[in-house]
Amino acid sequence: MHNRRGGKKQNDTRINYNDFIVNPKGKINISKLKSFAVDKLFPGSMLREILLLEDNEMCALTFLERVPIYLRLARLEDNQGRRR
C-alpha cells in the first residue's frame, strides 16, 4: 500500500467500531486491538500484557465486561507516564 505522497504506507494501527463486529457465533475478533497494543503500548505495560494474553476471539459479552478494566488500566498507565 502507498500513501498519498507516493511513499510506502506504514502499518495502520487505528481502531474503529468496524473492527469489533460480532460474528455469527457471538464472538469479537480482537487481533487488531492486540496489534495496537504491540505497536503503541510500552513493553512492560500491564494493559499490553493482558491484551496479549487474550484469545484473538472472545465472547462479545466478555469483551464488553472487560472494556472498563482496559480503560482503567490505560488511564492509570497514562497518569503514571505524565508523572515521570
> What is the domain range of residue 42?
17-83
How far apart, in whole angstroms, are the C-alpha atoms of residue 24 and residue 8?
35
- How many domains is the chain partitioned into structurally? 1
Mean pLDDT of the chain: 84
Residue 51 lies in a domain: yes
- Give alpha helix (H) positions in 14-84: 31-40, 46-53, 60-83
Dmax over Cα atoms in the chain, in whole Å?
A: 45
Residue 62 lies in a domain: yes
The pLDDT tens digits of the residues spanning 42-67 come to 999 999 999 999 999 999 999 999 99
Residue 10 lies in a domain: no
Residue 74 lies in a domain: yes
Give, as one character, the DSSP assignment of residue 14: -
Residue 12 lies in a domain: no
Residue 2 lies in a domain: no
Residue 52 lies in a domain: yes
pTM: 0.74
Instruction: Give pLDDT, residue 11.
Output: 60
Residue 1 lies in a domain: no
